[in-house]
Amino acid sequence: MKKASIIILIITLSSSFMFSQTAEDALRFSRVFYSGTARFNGLSGAFGAVGADFSTMATNPAGIGLYTGSETTFTLAPTVGYSTADYNMSTATDYRVNVGVGNFGVIFNINPYQKTKTGTLKSINFGIGVNRQNDFNNRVVINGVNTRNSMMQSYANTLNGIRIQPAYVQDSFPFDIGLAFRTDGTGLVYYNSDSNKYYCDAAYGGVLQNKRINTSGSMNEVDFSVGANFSDKLFVGFTFGIPTINYYENSVYTETRTKDTIPNFISLSYRYDLHTRGTGINFKLGAIYKPADWFRIGASIHTPTWYPSMRDQWSSSMQSTFTNSSWNGTQYSPLGDFDYQLTTPFRAMGGLAFIIGQYGLISADYEYVNYSQARFHASYESYSSVNEQIKYSYKSWGNIRVGTEWRIADFRIRGGFGYFSNPSTVVNPYTGKTNNSERFQASGGLGYRTKHFFADVTYVWSKMNQDYYLYDASMVNPATISYYTSTVSTTIGFRF
C-alpha cells in the first residue's frame, strides 16, 4: 500500500506534462474554509445549531430562520499570509498582505404571526448576499542546494522513459520539456544520436534551487436563502448558492550552479503563469430544533457543487545561461486555454449548542466531506487518469469547529477553534508519513450590540503544513511548507 501511494504521488506530480488540471487543483477548489461576519469568525464558524447570523446561509441556512427582524451587514477582512519553507537544510520565508471582503448582504423578515396570532408559522426570512469561502492569497519561497540531481535530469528521464523522437519533443511538451530541449530551445536538455538518449549538464546536482510561488484570488459564493420559524421550536432553511472561483498562480523556478566542475551550464529560469476561473451552483438544506430553551440541535446537507464553465489559461517561458554565450536562449510557450467542468464533493454538517440563559453559549459543529469524490469532466478529453488519482490520493474525514460567546451588558466576548483534517492519503517516500495538509485555526473577538446597530471585530489565526515537491518525487526531497494566516475581520450591521 505504501508503494502504491508513492507511485500515485509521482504520477500526480508529473501529470502537468499531460494535463493542465491535476488532483491538487480538485482539492484546492473542494476545500472550504468558511468566512463571513466577524461574529461567525469569532466562534470559528461553529454556528450549525446557533443560527441568527448572516453567514449561516452558507453553512446551515436554517440559521436565518431564527431572525426576529431585518438586518444588513458588511465585513472587511484584511489578511496577512506568512510562510516558511524548509528544503535540504535551508529555510526561506515570505509573506503577502491582502484586503478582502468577508461578506455583505441583507436579511428581510416577514412576520405573519404578528398579525394573525394564529398558526405554527411564526416568521419567514429571506436573505441575499455574498460569503467568502476561501482565500488564495499567499507567497512562498523555497531555497536550497541539491547535490544529487537537477530538474533538467527529471526532464531527460521523462524523455528517455517514453523513448520519444527529438522531432516530437517540442510539440508534445510545449509548456516545459519542449522549452528546455536544445533544438530551437534553451539547450538545457539535448539528444545523443549515438546512444539514442537524452542528457543534461547538471545530471548529478551541484545546483542552488529556488522557487517563488505567488498565488492570489478567492472563492466567494452568492447565496439566496429562505428560512422559516415554526412555533419557536423548529427552524428550516434552504439556500441556492452560486460560488465563483478566481485563482491566479505565478511561479519562477531557478537553478544556478554551485560548482565550476559542471560543464557549460550556469543557470536556468522557468516561469509559469496560470489563471483559473469558474462559476458553479449548489443547494443547501438545513434544520435547527430546540427541544429546550437551553439546547439546540442543527443539521444540514450540501449537494455537490457543479462548475459547468471552468476555464484555465496558462503560459510559461524558460531562459538558459551557459559559459558559451552563443548557447544562451529564451523560449516562450503558446497560450494554453481549456474549458472543462468540475464537480466538488457532497457535504454534511451537524451541530450542538448550549444556551446559558442571557449570559452566553457554547457550540460545536462537525462537518463530513469526502474529497475523493471530486471529479473533472470535459466534452472532448478523458479525465479518467486524473480522476483515478483524485480517488486514491484523497480520503473522507471530517472538520471540527467549536466556539463560545459571553454577554456583558451590550458587549460580547467570543472565542473559537477549528480543526480541518488532513485530506491526503499520499505517503512521503522519505518519511513514510502521509502528506500532511491539516489546518488548525484559533479565533477571538469582541462585539457591541444595540437594538438597531452592531459592530464586531475578530482576530483569526491559522496554520497548515504541506509537503511540496519541486519535481519528480522519486528524485527530490520534499520542501516542508508551513502556511500561517492572520485575519482581522470587522463587521458593521444595522437592524431595521
Beta strand 138-146 with 207-230 is antiparallel
CA angle, residues 52, 54, 57, in degrees to nearest 5: 95
Q: How far apart are CA 35 and CA 100, in angstroms?
A: 11
Supply the pTM of this predicted model. 0.90
Instruction: Give the pLDDT of residue 396.
Output: 80
Whether 171 and 282 have beta carbons less than 8 Å apart is answered as: no
Has residue 8 got a pLDDT over 70? Answer: no
Average pLDDT in the 87-100 region? 94
pLDDT tens per residue across span 356-367: 999 999 999 999
Residue 90 CB partners (closer than 8 Å, separation 6+): 143, 144, 145
Tracing cell 428581510 back to the chain, one arrives at 108
Tracing cell 520519444 back to the chain, one arrives at 164
pLDDT tens per residue across span 28-42: 999 999 999 999 999
Question: Would you put residue 488 in left (φ > 0), alpha (ψ -120 to 50) or beta?
Answer: beta
Letter for the amino acid at 396? Answer: S
Percent of the residues in the chain that have a pLDDT greater than 90, as a whole number: 82
pLDDT tens per residue across span 205-231: 999 999 999 999 999 999 999 999 999
73: cell is 451587514
Residue 17 main-chain phi, psi, to 5 deg: -70, -25
Instruction: Give the pLDDT of residue 382.
Output: 85
Mean pLDDT is lowest, of 2-16, 135-149, 294-308, for: 2-16
Percent of the residues in the chain that have a pLDDT greater than 70, as a whole number: 92
Residue 63 CB partners (closer than 8 Å, separation 6+): 47, 48, 50, 51, 52, 53, 56, 57, 227, 235, 237, 286, 288, 298
The alpha-carbon radius of gyration of the chain (Å, integer) is 26
Letter for the amino acid at 395? Answer: K
Counting Cα atoms < 13 Å in the Cβ hemisphere of 416 gives 33
User: Greatest CA span in the chain, whole angstroms?
Assistant: 94
Average pLDDT in the 132-146 region? 95
Average pLDDT in the 277-298 region? 98
Instruction: Give the pLDDT of residue 129.
Output: 97
Pick from 401, 418, 475, 381: nearest CA to 155: 475
Whether 60 and 302 have beta carbons less than 8 Å apart is answered as: no
pLDDT tens per residue across span 389-439: 999 889 888 899 999 999 999 999 999 999 999 998 766 655 566 667 899
CA–CA distance from 183 to each of 171, 190, 325, 332, 486 (Å)?
12, 8, 16, 14, 48
Q: How far apart are CA 175 and CA 377, in angstroms?
A: 22
Q: Residue 92 pairs with which residues in a beta bridge? A: 85
Task: Give kind and range of the element (H or E) at residue 249.
Answer: strand 234-257
CA–CA distance from 35 to each of 101, 139, 275, 355, 398 (Å)?
10, 21, 23, 23, 18
Whether 85 and 91 have beta carbons less than 8 Å apart is answered as: yes
DSSP string, 61-118: GGGGGG-SS-EEEEEEEEEEEEEEEEETTEEEEEEEEEEEEEEEEEEEEE-HHHHH--
Q: Which domains does the chain have, with CATH numbers?
A: 2-150+202-495 (2.40.160.60)
pLDDT tens per residue across span 248-257: 999 999 999 9
413: cell is 466576548
357: cell is 440563559
CA–CA distance from 293 to each of 52, 250, 288, 361 (Å)?
15, 53, 12, 12
CA–CA distance from 140 to each of 86, 93, 480 (Å)?
11, 7, 11
Instruction: Give the pLDDT of residue 266.
Output: 94
Average pLDDT in the 295-322 region? 97
Q: For the chain, give the number of residues.
A: 496
Q: 6 versus 307: which is more confidently predicted?
A: 307
Pick from 365, 364, 378, 368: nearest CA to 346: 368
Average pLDDT in the 290-315 region? 97
What average pLDDT is seen over the chain?
A: 91
DSSP string, 290-340: EEETTEEEEEEEEPPPEEEEEEEEEEEEEEEEESSGGG-EEEEPPPEEEEE
Instruction: Give the pLDDT of residue 117.
Output: 66
